[in-house]
Structure 1
Amino acid sequence: MKKIKTPNKEIIRNSPNISSYATMDLTAVIDIFKTQNEGLTTKEADSRLEEFGPNQISEGYKDTVWSKLFEAIINPFNVILIVIAVVTFITDIVIPARKDFFTFAIIILLVFVSSTISFIQSQSSSKAIEKLTNQINNTSHVYRDATLIQIPQNQVVPGDIVHLGAGDVLPADIRFIQTRDTFIAQSALTGESTPVEKFSHTLNDKDMSLTDLENIGFMGSNMISGSARGVVLATGDSTYFGSMAGSLTGDRAKNSFERGVEDISQMLIRMMLIIVPVVFVINAFNKGDWGTSLVFAISIAVGLTPEMLPVITNSTLAVGAQNMAKQKVIVRSTSAIQSFGEMDVLCTDKTGTLTEDKIVVERYMNLNGDDDRRVLRHAYLNSYFQTGLKNLIDFAIINRAEGYKFDSILNNYEVVDEVPFDFNRRRMSVVLEDKTGKCQLITKGAVEEMLSISSFIELDGKVYPLDDEKLAIAKETYETYNHQGLRMIAVAQKNNIPDSEHFSIADESDMVLIGFMGFLDPPKKSATPAIKALEEHKVRTVVLTGDSEGVAINVCNEVGIATNVVYTGGDIEAMTDLELSKAVEECNLFAKLAPSQKTRVISVLQSIGHTVGFLGDGINDAPALRRADVGISVDTAVDIAKETADIVLLEKDLMVLERGVLEGRKTFGNIMKYIKMATSGNFGNIISILFASLFLPFLPILPVQLLTQNLLNDFAQIGMPFDNIDENYLIEPKSWNTRSVRNFMYWLGPVSSIFDILCFAILWFVMDANTLGKAPLFQAGWFIFGTLSQIIIIHMIRTSKTPFIESMSSNELTLSTFIVGIIACVVAFSDIAIGLDMSPLPVRFIPWFVLLLIGYMVAVQLVKKLYIKRYNELI
């Protein structure tokens, strides 16, 4: 085989060639990538990073500046404006001898201003979200300059030697150099539901499919258990994941809010498809001008489309994400903000969320409950020599043992093998050989699982068979300290082990139980007020823990979670889904759960109508995080937990969650204001336009006037994402209710129609705008009333209280609506109106105009109160 002096970029760039490395000798692979077992030097790594680029997947479609600009310009609203601009250009500039550029210029200006605002909002939102997500960094352990260091995953390069432990996400495609009980979940790539074991040996079969290669690991899969080292073969787009990223990143299932918005949008489209042809036909026959009637009907279609919904929604979510970031909550998926506000059940692990996550060794005891340093020594050897994922228990044991100078005995032992921890066995073992050649298997783990593999027990320095009498002694000691709130694990060992280089789970049998380790993980000081605050906002906290009943009950009692009903994993395993659906409504503590049982509890809660959040940070929490409506993790969590979560906390603090819940409800409330305003306003406009089309001899408003009014109203709504929310609105979870939106539309829509018709009457009978020649005056009157009434409705429906008196809008919304109101009045009452083919309104219209607005405000407030009383819901 030809040796390559530098990493061959073509080999690395083509993911199908990765399979060729599976059948190569490890020495050859190392040589191709010009690396060594001790890793690259820093200089070599920097050079390769510059050559191959960051280790990240390019998005199939990326929002570039140009794509955002295109989307800002090419939308239904602007397309109609451009069509009308073309028609106006022909009718006002090309055909007539006396050319009128003003209307055409106004329309082009509208397109420019609309596109600019949409583009700026889109850019600022994207940058804000990108800045927030960049605060969450996944890291990898690599050997650089013969030292194991931690670097950001995007700096991993071909030829790097990576070290992997349980919970790590594979940062690239790798060829395994060394494995130790390495089980990897690659379901995201292959669909396999069970983890697969990986090995370091060279394969002979060249025809195996890529994902079946036992010595190759793929970017995006994650370590379930064991440990491994490997050489990086490909990074970024060159990986197998990169080659199929498009198929792996399909659309996520829509949440209830997204489905609701889609439902309402479809309803408005159906209304538009019905009303536009009707308006066209009526006006064409009544007025006899088919061309103008067609343009008017198309303009009505634009007016009935809530074109600001994407801008308002995205801006509101972006504002929510930034506000949550100030509380040290990073939102990875903005759609999760609304789910956060909708959440009514928070499921949480115990360790590190309710507790300080600072475990200390409180007791090390023999089976009689007496202090015994020999038990601590065995636990120390087990924790120190394991190469898998060291957890807080391991670090607590090591710290306590080194306080007794136990580290001085380490040179007496050599690791032969280990059987890593996994969440089904809930134990781990190491095989050690001392200088005399004696081999010993030392195992530590959850008490019940350790009892199941023990056949002997050590009492008072003697070994006895583990009969019922001796078992009762051990259990009594365990239960005594467990009920005192200590987290207990058991320690066992055996000397009679086979002469073998590789050990397995089968060797964990006929063990000698020697004692217990007791740990203390005190509750957080913030846990009790946080749980109370969540409860006050109608969010119930449910603990799902793999820990024992005694410890879990003790912690829950201290933080204020009811423990009058407690179920274990064994209990729920015996329940049907129907039985479990009743149990989850009455139980707030589930102990000794396996990962699959946590997921089942969440699924059952969802099936009975709850919106469920799950807070976890371990490998065993990943399935539950994925299953929950909103997955919540912490920045110190294992990689797979952070990758799965929708929301990442920079601090393990439940008070942060409570603030996040409120921010989610605030975000939901501001989006709903726009939706209710748009639907009710559109419904009212339909009635008004139908009335005017039937009874007026001219169009009540020209297309250019209608589109200008629509644009002004859009500008008035720009401040809505920043609006204040009433305290009473935030008390309960908020979820989408399509029926509520429709009811609101049917109640409030006709109110605006009634006052539109009153406006028509005043213009017709009082202002004498009742002839074709006076149509521009009539149109100016309805233009200003329609614009101001739409501004007023923003303030009227933004609160269930009395606006301007009991509830004030934010400065941003007040400013945007005030400025637009002034602009609309200047346009309607000055010669600027002529540019929009209107007649400037006389001063004598002002009293009638003010009276109409006051009457409209009073009527909306009364109908709003009746609506709240009728449906018992806040708006």
Structure 2
Amino acid sequence: MGKKTVNVEPETPFHTFTVEQVAEHYQTSILEGLSSEEAAKRLQTYGHNELEGDGGVKWYKVLWRQVANVLVCVLLIATALAFATKDVAEGSVILFVIVTNAIIGFYQEFNAEQTMEALRNMSSPTAHVIRDEARVTIPNNQAVPGDIMIFEDGDVVGADCRLFEVFNLETDEALLTGESLPVQKNLNVIQQADEALGDRLNMAFSSTTVVKGRAKGIVTSTGMKTQIGQIATSLMNVDANEKTPLQKRLDKMAYCVFLAAIILVVVVFGVHKFQYSNEVAIYAISVSIAIIPEGLVAVVTLTMAFGVRRMADVKAIVRRLSSLESLGAVTNICSDKTGTLTQSKMVAVRMWFPQEGFFRVTGTGFTPEGEIYRQGEMVAGELPAQEELVANGSGSDHFLRTLQVASLCNMAELRRTLHPETHGDWAAIGDPTEIALQVLAHKAGLAKPDLLSQGFQLIAEFPFDSSVKRMSVLYQSPSTNSSAPGAHYIFMKGATERVLGCCVSYRAGDVERSIEGEKGSRIIFEKTIEEKMTLLAERGLRVLTLAYRKFDPQPGVDLVHGLDREEVDSNMVFLGLVGIYDPPRAESRPAVLQCYEAGIRVHMLTGDHPSTAAAIAKEVAIIPEDVPVLNNPLIMTAAQFDAMADDDVDRLVELPRVVARCSPNTKVKMIAALHRRNLFATMTGDGVNDSPSLKAANVGIAMGQSGSDVAKQASDIVLTDDNFATIVKAIAEGRRMFANIQKFIQHLMSANVAEIVVLIIGLAFKDPAGHAVFPMSAVEILFLNMITSSPPAMGLGLEPPSESNMREPPRSAKQGLFSFEVVMDTFIYGLAMGMLSFANYSIVLFGFNHGKMGIGCNNEWSEDCEGIFRARATSYTCMTLLILVHAVNCRALRETGWTINNLKTLEHNKMLWLSIVIGAFLVFPVVYIPGFNHSVFKHSPISYEWGLVIAALLIFILFAEFYKFVKRRVMKPLHLEANGQLEMDRMRTYMTDASNQDSVIDDDRTVKEHK
């Protein structure tokens, strides 16, 4: 395939500009960014930052979908046959129904598609920019030239940018250049205006991915002006028309219905000995129409659109419709801790230094106001009552050096806002953990801006990576005299076990002592650190370790790009521990307990220390509060879990509820273990490394606020509030939607079964000419299916969740819409309604009119046909009211629908209530308007026959209640009796017996049962 030549040269070669020239060109500040007002003006000037013609909602495609389906095809065939048999009235009505259905379906689906498109845009790549001197997250399409954009590892660059701050930035530009290797960026000005894209190292381009590091840049081009816009392509190209499992099931149902319609047509002609006549053809049309749920497409569309909107209301953006259907089958939730179960408002509250002991820090939030008190070492497990206040800016050299590391090995920024509404408040930019350390440094009088102004200069940064779980920076300290440059220092922070492995000595006061001094001294030292860390972690604190060392660079070595990380992260000096508290969200514990009631188990996978993870897990009820952390089979480290072979994992009675020090690979292994037990799992994630587990999970859920763009693209659902409780709400909504789809399908198909019963039995009654007499006309059937049955079905699709919605076990992932109970109900209710309607038809015709039949009563009224027309009206009226009454039955599979309390709940579903009332009133004009009744519907007004209709209604209600009573007695209960306390007791029992369980798998939802 030949290459297409495209001009990708931008109008202005910003790569040849200095940063100051670009900032002046767009009248922006690299420190303060644009104001909100200026950004709004530029959005009007430059337009939205999006590509033109990359999809969107096409009205003609939506309209085509209303016509191109099996159900409509059958109706079109029926229309053609009606006109062919010169039944113009019936053919016109069927054609009117087709057109009306298409218009309604088009309106609903087009609005639904537009809503879903808007919601998908909400979950598309976001941009981190500085506006009003604060870091904010905006939809990427609202970025404008002059914005100061920030991007980090895993982000998709939102616009073309001229870089002005770079730390180990590497981007994947294969989309633009075809170069498979990441490109390392720098800030050097490029002289050639026509430099190749791959060599413009001071630019970051829209839709490329940050592979490593972080950077800031000035947005130079947006939308179609970007390089990616100029070659008219997009990074994301998802087939929005891909059918979901539900739609595929409905397609299969449509083919089954079509096959059944053909069989019934053959039956009709067979009864008439395959002798063609207009009468036989019309009857065959009527039977085929009766079995088709004409309103099904519109009802499904409405229900799905309502489900997506409801999910958006609870702050969950659905990126793939299939996930909305899958949520009802979730059996296990694997969740992060920080920001999901907790508030992600971290505050440093404790410190520990060798020799100096513990320190207590006061103050909350981003406001750098608080005191630091030295408490000393614990005595008999308790801290001394007397505390010593450490004055701001004072303390031992050890204390000051440690806080210096906390301040400088840190990319977070703390500043007062200039926004009119929050003027003077403190705001922070950066990772929550780093913000907590930065606030601590401010409290100690060692704020990063102050240290930088004193002469500390950042030389190189080795960012945090999930594989090493630590971060290092190289700084040059201020010069002590004008003749000699300042010394170089490496500052490090990270997970304790990863930092300790890099340390060869520790600071005790103002003295550095070797860890390796005597035999066994490292073991003793590490045991001491472990004890102190455990004391902090047991209080629910996340523990970070700080270290440093003096660095002597080799002559000629490039300190920015020429350093090896392994060499840098060696020979470190241990300084101390910092305990950071991230309080659980108030709604997390109730949400976890609600999961237990719903038969869902919660697993917490976190990078924290096991004691910290266990402490938070106890607070939010993931594990019992009174269980030990050590030797607890429900609590494992990633190292323990990853070291187990798959067979060993499968022999576990229960998978761990808490996995600490978790890595991305551990998450993938947990999902695989759940799948081997035939469990249905959802996984949360926010980083680029979480993408494999998000894709492997049945439902991947990304964090909308803290999540990277790569994670969002790999996910099925995006949480706009990063809240665990939102996951539970989403599952509840998924269950509600699936249950409602079952309700309205049962309602629609029951009505179709009832109509078929009437029509097939009606084949036994023939007029003197030997033609079958219609118990119901084709127009009556269409009216029942479209006007009478469809609105209540739509109402059932909007039903609020039942009281037992989250007290029922998760449905099997393999369970389709047509469970045994739903199919059984459909036929039993359909048979009951059909028999009652036909019984009324027979009583009127043979009981009150002595079976008098004229010839041609299927086409036009005559005196001889009055009995048939009255019987037909009675049958139609009875069927109409039975269908409306049946909507109340369908609100619950087994619970009674006719108690006062249940009927009162109808007021919460106005659509259902109004459809029943209006549907009942529509009987009167249809039956009693002169001419309209005889010519179109082929029936006559009724009088005493109302007694039969009311009797049939009462019989059906009594039958339905008796049937549900029998089901409640005979069938297994739908709801679970488990609750939070029972689940806690079960876990305690498991832990007690775990040592005796060996390899027996007796968990009620594990391998034994499912295999």
Query: Which of 909, 925, 937 is matched with 1:826 structurally?
Result: 925
Q: Which of 186, 194, 199 is the matching residue for 2:185?
A: 199
Residue 565 (structure 2) aligns with: 505
d(CA) in 1 for partners of 2:174, 2:846: 73
Looking at structure 1, the residues matched to 268 and 105 of structure 2 have their Cα atoms a distance apart, in angstroms, of: 30
The reply to whether residue 755 of structure 1 matches residue 848 of structure 2 is no
Q: Tell me, what secondary structure is at the counterpart of 1:377?
A: helix
Deviations along 1:11-52, one digit per CA (max 9) or x if unpaired, are: xxx99544x78xx99317999999589789999988985676
Give the Cα–Cα distance (whole angstroms) in 2 for the partners of residues 593 and 621 of structure 1: 11
- TM-score computed with the length of structure 1 as normaliser: 0.83
> Contact between 1:287 and 1:698, CA under 8 Å: does it hold in 2?
no
Q: State the match for 1:480 in structure 2.
A: 532
Greater fraction of residues in helix:
1
* Bigger Cα displacement from structure 2, 465-474 vs 426-435: 465-474
Distance 2:659 2:500 in 1: 22
- Which residue is equivalent to 2:457? 414
Aligned to 1:842: 942
How far apart, in 2, do the equivalents of 1:301 and 1:186 lie? 58
The corresponding residue for 2:855 is 772
SS of the equivalent of 1:523 reads: coil
**What's the counterpart of residue 705 of structure 1?**
780
**Separation in structure 2 between the aligned mates of residue 32 and residue 699 of structure 1, nearest angstrom:** 85
Q: Is the 8 A contact 1:142 1:160 kept in 2?
A: yes
**Partner residue of 1:461?**
510
Amino acid at match of 1:821: A
Shift of 1:751: 3.4
Instruction: Name 1:859's counterpart in structure 2.
Output: 959
Q: Quick check: 2:599–2:810 contact (8 Å CA) kept in 1?
A: no
- 1:228 equivalent in structure 2: 215
Q: 2:257 aligns with which of 261, 268, 271?
A: 268
Distance 1:405 1:555, change over 3 A: same
* Structure 1 residue 435 corresponds to structure 2 residue 513: no
Counterpart of 2:501 in 1: which secondary structure? helix
SS where residue 543 of structure 1 aligns? strand
Q: Which range moved further: 715-724 or 116-125?
A: 116-125
Residue type at the aligned position of 2:791: F
Give CA deviations for 1:278-334 in whole Å, capped at 9, x if unaligned.
Answer: 245336646641x55445545544443334333223322333444455545554555
Aligned to 1:813: 912
Q: Is the 8 A contact 1:85 1:104 kept in 2?
A: yes
CA distance in 1, matches of 2:641, 2:604: 14
**How far is the alpha carbon of 1:154 from its aligned partner?**
1.2
Q: How far is 1:429 from its partner? A: 1.0
Output one character per residue of 1:510-551: Cα deviation in whole Å (capped at 9) or x when no partner: 222222222222333333233223322322221111111010
Question: Which residue in the other structure is 1:377 paired with?
Answer: 404
SS of match in other structure, 1:524? coil
Q: 2:798 aligns to what? A: 722
Deviation of 1:593 after TM superposition, in Å, equals: 0.8
Question: Match of 2:670?
Answer: 601
Determine the structure 2 residue equivalent to 1:629: 698
Structure 1 counterpart of 2:915, one-letter code: S
Q: How big is the shift at 1:190? A: 12
User: Which residue pairs with 1:7 in the alignment?
Assistant: none
Q: CA RMSD in A?
A: 4.6
Local SS of the residue matching 1:383: coil
Q: 1:631 to 1:195 in 2, by over 3 A?
A: farther
Please name the residue that 1:96 is paired with: none
Matches within 5 A, 1:229-378: 229=216, 235-236=222-223, 240=228, 243-245=232-234, 248-250=237-239, 257=246, 260-276=249-265, 278-279=266-267, 281-282=269-270, 285=273, 288-289=276-277, 291=278, 293-294=280-281, 296-298=283-285, 300-368=287-355, 369-370=357-358, 372-378=399-405
Matches within 5 A, 1:130-209: 139-141=126-128, 152-157=139-144, 162-172=149-159, 179-184=166-171, 196=182, 198-200=184-186
Conserved in 1, the CA contact under 8 Å of 2:175 and 2:235? no
The counterpart of 1:26, out of the listed 15, 21, 27, is 15
Aligned to 2:339, what secondary structure does the other structure show?
coil
Partners of 2:296 and 2:178 in 1: CA distance: 37
Deviations 1:727-751 (A, max 9, x none): 1344124534444344444544443
Q: What is residue 543 of structure 1 aligned with on the other side?
A: 604
Correspondence 1:682 to 2:752: yes
Alpha-carbon contact 1:748-1:864 (below 8 Å) kept: no
Using the TM superposition, give the Cα deviation of residue 570 of structure 1 relative to its aligned residue in structure 2, in angstroms: 0.9
* 1:495 pairs with one of 545, 550, 572: 550
Query: Please, what TM-score do these two structures have when normalized by structure 2?
Result: 0.73
Q: Distance in 2 between matches of 1:684 and 1:212?
A: 73
Cα gap change, 1:824/1:351 in structure 2, threshold over 3 Å: closer, same or farther?
Answer: same
Deviation at residue 401 of structure 1 after TM alignment = 1.2
Which amino acid in 2 is paired with 1:492? A
Q: Which residue of 1 aligns with 2:367?
A: none
The AA in structure 2 aligned to 1:706 is: I
Distance between the aligned counterparts of 1:796 and 1:519, measured in 2?
55
Query: CA separation in 1, counterparts of 2:619 and 2:443?
Result: 30
Post-superposition Cα deviations, 1:58-81, rounded to whole Å, max 9, x if no partner, equal: 565433566656655776666666
- Aligned: 1:802 with 2:885: no
Give 3-state SS (helix, strand or coil) of 2:410's partner.
Answer: helix
Of 503-512 and 423-432, deviating more is: 503-512
Give structure 1 stretches of 5+ with no counterpart. Answer: 1-13, 94-99
Q: How far off is 1:147 after superposition?
A: 11
Looking at structure 1, the residues matched to 284 and 942 of structure 2 have their Cα atoms a distance apart, in angstroms, of 29
> Secondary structure at the residue paired with 2:151?
strand
Candidates 51, 55, 62, aligned match of 2:49: 55
Aligned residue pairs, count: 851
The residue identity in structure 2 corresponding to 1:698 is: A
Q: Which amino acid aligns with 2:897?
A: P
- Local SS of the residue matching 1:365: strand
- Kindly indicate whether residue 440 of structure 2 is the aligned counterpart of residue 397 of structure 1: no
Cα distance in 1 for partners of 2:405, 2:897 equals 70
Q: Which residue of 1 aligns with 2:882?
A: 789
Comparing 643-652 and 83-92, the one that deviates more? 83-92
Report Cα offsets for 1:68-114 as digits up to 9, x if no partner. Answer: 56655776666666776677678769xxxxxx8x6676556545644
Task: Give the alignment partner of residue 559 of structure 1, picking from 617, 620, 642.
Answer: 620
SS in 1 for 2:846: helix
Residues 475-501 of structure 1, C-alpha deviations (whole Å, 9 max, x = no match): 423433334333211122222343432
The C-alpha deviation readout for 1:732-781, integer Å capped at 9, x for no partner, is 24534444344444544443444354345335422425443444525434
> For residues 813-852 of structure 1, what are the alpha-carbon distances to aligned partners after superposition, in whole Å with 9 as ceiling and x for unaligned?
1220221122134313543311315130432332223333
1:5 aligned residue: none
Distance 1:620 1:288, change over 3 A: closer
**CA separation of 1:373/1:154 partners in 2, compared to 1, >3 Å: closer, same or farther?**
same
Tell me, in whole angstroms, the C-alpha distance in 2 between the residues paired with 1:283 and 1:58.
60
CA contact (8 A) 1:167 1:638 kept: no
Q: Which is worse superposed, 407-416 or 258-267?
A: 258-267
Superposed displacement of residue 684, structure 1:
4.8
SS of the counterpart of 1:715? helix
Counterpart CA distance in 2 for 1:843 and 1:219 is 74
User: Is the contact made by 2:683 and 2:700 (CA closer than 8 Å) also made in structure 1?
Assistant: yes
Out of 703-712 and 62-71, give the one that drifted further: 62-71
Q: Structure 2: which amino acid aligns with 1:401?
A: A
Which residue in the other structure is 1:692 paired with? 762
Output the CA distance in 2 between the equivalents of 1:821 and 1:531. Answer: 45
Q: What amino acid is the match of 1:587?
A: P
Gaps of 5+ in 2: 360-398, 415-427, 480-485, 859-867, 976-1011
Given the alignment of the two structures, is residue 572 of structure 1 paired with residue 641 of structure 2, yes or no?
yes
Are 1:610 and 2:637 matched, yes or no? no
Q: Distance in 2 between matches of 1:492 and 1:187?
A: 38
Q: Which amino acid aligns with 2:459?
A: V
